Amino acid sequence: MTAPRRRGGGLRARITLLTTSLAAAVSVLLLWLAWLLAGAVVASVPSLPTGTTVVVNGVRVEAERLAEVLAQDARDRVLMAGSVAFVCVVAATALLAWVITGRVLRPLHEVTATAQRLSVESLGERIGHRGARDEVAELADTFDAMLERLQAAFSAQRQFVANASHELRTPLAVIRTELDVTLADPDADVAELRRMAEVVRAATLRAGQMVEGLLVLARTDGLGVGATGPVDLATVVAGAWNSARSEAGRRGITATFDEGHAMVHGDAALLERVAGNLLENAVRHNVDGGWITASTGSGPQWNTLEVASSGPVIDPERVPELFEPFRRGGVNRTAHTGTGLGLSIVRAVARAHGGTVSASPVPGGGLRVTVTLPAT
């Protein structure tokens, strides 16, 4: 493939031409002023008696024409010397402008060459400009920082796609296996068919939940918040608890709520999804007979939603990993319940609303997650 033609020479030539033209114009102006001043100064000679003659440059000149002849001679000398100086100044200006402009534009050529070489497989390249810390160096550093972000984004995307493919492969493999086994059994009765149908239904339900979570995550990361309005976090928590209450009751988990008034401006559906994910995680990753506390609070600038629960002991160093997709309680893609996207969605929604989310282990086992959102 033919490399794109470098256009840096055009800019370099234009800058050199502009600089040289400016120097030439200034030199012509100075030469003209010197020509006028030389004639005016030399013309101011003393008056001589009428009829006398003076020798100027080997030529006899009458006294009446002495001032005129001297002025013309001075102007000719200034014009001759000034012309030589004019040519030297213009040539030196053009040479210096060409050289200096080339050195200044060299990092821009490096930026262009790096950008032309870039691909998904070569995002690790950097300009690494070394030199004066000027505007060009700032541009090179900005370009390198942009490449860092792009490389991180592409790496995260690759990892996300790989994890999503792995997760979706599991329920599809279960469905295919159940269908193959059932179809291969000529004596399969109604009970066997119902068992197969239950397994397939559970697998499709899990796949559907995962796809829904991926859509929410993509929508929040890519498009941000949609329809917004005033939302009471206490109301959101109460509504989200309705979907997690039954499982908590079956496992003997007690829940305590401290629902303070906390109004935020945002998407009610997404914020209810945040509360729902936190409460569902608190129930799903809890221990039988455990506890859950959920509280909302308000401040002058920030409102908070906090959910804490008992559960297995979590290594503090692995807490940040819980917000990555397909991480469940510090275990990578090995749990049989959930999609591993809960806290990832919580983080994405919080960021889309201009807020933050943090987590910390509970002494003795469990996790505390705090969502902070701007107050209305």
Instruction: Report the alpha-carbon distance of residue 306 to residue 372 in Å, rounded.
Output: 9
The answer as to whether 328 is a domain residue is yes
Same domain, yes or no: 336 and 208: no
Can you give the CATH number for the domain in which 278 is found?
3.30.565.10
Residues in the chain: 376
- Per-residue pLDDT band at 332 (split at 50, 70, 90): very low
The answer as to whether 148 is a domain residue is no
CB 309 within 8 A of CB 292: yes
Instruction: Report the alpha-carbon distance of residue 199 to residue 171 in Å, rounded.
Output: 10
Same domain, yes or no: 341 and 236: yes
C-alpha pair distances (Å), 253 with each of 43, 288, 369: 112, 6, 18
Strand partners, 294: 257, 307
Number of domains the chain contains: 3
Q: Is 42's pLDDT higher than 80?
A: no
What pLDDT was estimated at residue 325?
66
| Mean pLDDT (the chain, rounded) | 78
**What is the SS3 assignment for 331?**
strand
Tens of pLDDT, residue by residue over 71-86, are: 777 778 888 888 888 8
CB 126 within 8 A of CB 150: no
What pLDDT was estimated at residue 131?
65
In sequence order, the 6+-apart residues with CB closer than 8 A to the CB of 94 are: 16, 19, 20
Q: Is 291's pLDDT higher than 90?
A: yes
Which runs of consecutive H residues, i.e. helices, occur in the chain?
A: 8-42, 66-117, 135-184, 190-223, 233-250, 268-284, 342-352
Backbone angles phi, psi at 359, to 5 degrees: -145, 155
The single residue listed with the structure tokens 């030589």 is: 84
What pLDDT was estimated at residue 370?
92
What pLDDT was estimated at residue 308?
92
What pLDDT was estimated at residue 64?
60
Buried b / exposed e along 14-25 (16+ C-beta atoms within 10 A): ebbeebbeebbe
- Per-residue pLDDT band at 51 (split at 50, 70, 90): low
Q: Domain range for residue 259? A: 229-374
The answer as to whether 140 is a domain residue is no
Instruction: Report the alpha-carbon distance of residue 232 to residue 274 in Å, rounded.
Output: 13
- Out of 61, 85, 117, a domain closes at 117
- Per-residue pLDDT band at 333 (split at 50, 70, 90): very low
- Per-residue pLDDT band at 126 (split at 50, 70, 90): confident
- Out of 202, 223, 244, a domain closes at 223
Can you give the CATH number for the domain in which 190 is found?
1.10.287.130
CB 301 within 8 A of CB 355: no
The answer as to whether 207 is a domain residue is yes
Mean pLDDT, residues 174-203 taken together: 84
Same domain, yes or no: 253 and 344: yes
12 burial (CB, 10 Å; 0-12 / 13-18 / 19+) is buried
C-alpha pair distances (Å), 132 with each of 43, 110, 143, 208: 53, 15, 17, 56
Same domain, yes or no: 268 and 213: no
- Per-residue pLDDT band at 264 (split at 50, 70, 90): confident
